[in-house]
Amino acid sequence: MKILSETNQSKFLKIGHRGAMGYEPENTIRSFQKAIELGVDVIELDVRICKSGEVVVIHDDRVDGTTDGTGFVRDKTLEELKKLDAGKGEKIPLLTEALNAVQKSVMVDIDLKENGTAGPVAEIIRRYILERHWNYDLFIVSSFLSDELTVFTSLAPNVRISLLGNPSPGLLLLGQKLSATSLSAHHGTITEDFVREAHGKKMEVFVWTVNHEEDIARMKTLGVDGIISDFPNKL
């Protein structure tokens, strides 16, 4: 099982949701830069594959919700996507553009949003480790899609993975089967018992999306290892 480095193992992680989307357009370079400015430990972002095959950073399967365009991401080429305004003049970035903007200053949590993303993401991470001298500890790859995590782990066994889902014995078992280093769930579903059981099985617990001070305080009381927030400066 892949375990967090000794440095990170005991550290509570401040995780910026899609960058710092409470302040800047989500999943944009501007948002990632704001998250770094606010002192995050990790930037969480989402990836999909566009029609021309590139790995792009966007949460929804359609562009309608976050840009001035319409239609499915998978039906648009990178050239077409780059013509859209993702907010404040920002463009939908490539995963490589996002990593270049981060420049190893914080960890990056890459959420695989659809089937077929594991292979291309594993190849990008491989290149950044071999050619740009990134460390394995700078990456976490997460997903609700256990099959994609299985594929990813077969290609990049040294990269940490985080399984997303509803807290349950099934999630704990699947996390163990996948050799996940962490489990991630909505903060409203987390219990102290689940956190304790996950820790007993050598998995950390991350929670999303925690924006209110009382919820942040409760999550810390429960002993979670990382909080994903739109307003990471509140953590």
What amino acid positions are annotated as catalytic residues? 17, 59
Which 8-state DSSP code applies to residue 92?
A: P
Contacts of 220 (CB under 8 A, 6+ apart): 12, 227
Instruction: Answer left, alpha or beta for residue 45, where phi above 0 means left and psi between -120 and 50 means alpha.
Output: beta
| Burial bucket for residue 228 (CB in 10 Å: 0-12, 13-18, 19+) | buried
Tokens representing 56 are 């792009």
CA pair distance 195, 160, nearest whole angstrom: 19
**Pick from 163, 52, 42: which is nearest to 109 by CA?**
42
CA pair distance 125, 108, nearest whole angstrom: 11
Amino acid making up residue 171: L
Which string of DSSP letters, residue by residue, matches 137-192?
GGEEEEES-HHHHHHHHHH-TTSEEEEES--SHHHHHHHHHHT-SEEEEEGGG--H
**Pick from 23, 36, 12: which is nearest to 231 by CA?**
23
